[in-house]
Structure 1
Amino acid sequence: MTFCDDRKDKDMLETLYKEAIDRKENPKEGSYTNYLFDKGLDKILKKVGEEATEVVIAAKNADKDEIANETADVLYHLAVMLVETGVSVEDVDAVLKARQGKKSNVHDRPEITNY
């Protein structure tokens, strides 16, 4: 079973995405999601990076509960980022489906020097 074929996983990501769309279209005072949208893409991306780093730390510490919690935070912030950038869950799902079953081209990638 793959991520894109598991309806429960996909439905949760879709739910986060749809809730983020709804919050963007129907702002609620005091909403953290609206706070992120109001602050803009740079703030959203900063949070994605922070939460991804926290997942790495949790994994390095072999803390399963923290891995689950921080992964949930990453998925939430990714959903907000997708809405902000106009990329749909279906767009991501199409990429995952296109990659499914393909032979991986494993090789060392060059170091990123331009940020």
Structure 2
Amino acid sequence: MDLIESRRDQPSEHSYTVTLLAGGIDRIGEKVSEEAAELVSAAAMLDGSEPRREEVIYEAADLIYHLFVLLGFSRVRLHEVSAELQSRFGTSGLEEKASRKQQP
């Protein structure tokens, strides 16, 4: 995340990260969606073989990187996401989802 924030705050030439950030949320969101679909596709073909497993790892890394870019663009720190996840431990996913519907 530090590198992504550095690229955001001090853009350098020839940086894919800088190009993504310059494209704004539409471009970043497009890449997150694309990488998520590629990961799901790779996982759907997973048959226990090493090449398929490596493809899932590769696509997961792509998705995580693009998610980090989205967070950096949005000025959301990873520790904030981690804290949100931590706050959900001990709460049933169904209860958490129901509580969101009650909020205005």
Q: TM range, normalised to the smaller chain?
A: 0.7 to 0.9
2:85 is the counterpart of 1:96? yes
Tell me the TM-score normalized by structure 2. Answer: 0.81
Q: Offset of 1:28 from its aligned partner?
A: 1.4
Q: Which runs of 4+ in 1 moved over 6 A?
A: none
Q: Which SS does the other structure have where 1:105 is aligned? A: helix
Q: Offset of 1:45 from its aligned partner?
A: 0.4
Q: Give the distance between the partners of 1:97 and 1:71, measured in 2 at CA.
A: 22
Segments of 5+ residues of structure 1 without an aligned counterpart are 1-16, 107-115
Aligned mate of 1:30, from 5, 14, 26: 14
The residue that corresponds to 1:7 in the other structure is none
Specify the structure having the higher radius of gyration (Cα): 2
2:41 is the counterpart of 1:52? no
Structure with bigger helix share is 2
Q: Offset of 1:102 from its aligned partner?
A: 2.3
Q: Give the distance between the partners of 1:92 and 1:38, measured in 2 at CA.
A: 23
Q: Offset of 1:18 from its aligned partner?
A: 1.1
Q: Offset of 1:38 from its aligned partner?
A: 1.1
Q: Offset of 1:88 from its aligned partner?
A: 1.3
Q: Give the distance between the partners of 2:93 and 2:6, measured in 1 at CA.
A: 37
The residue that corresponds to 2:76 in the other structure is 87
Q: Offset of 1:104 from its aligned partner?
A: 3.1
Q: Give the distance between the partners of 1:43 and 1:103, measured in 2 at CA.
A: 34
Q: Offset of 1:52 from its aligned partner?
A: 0.2
Segments of 5+ residues of structure 2 without an aligned counterpart are 47-51, 96-104
Instruction: State the one-letter code of the partner of 2:14.
Output: G
Report the identity percentage.
38
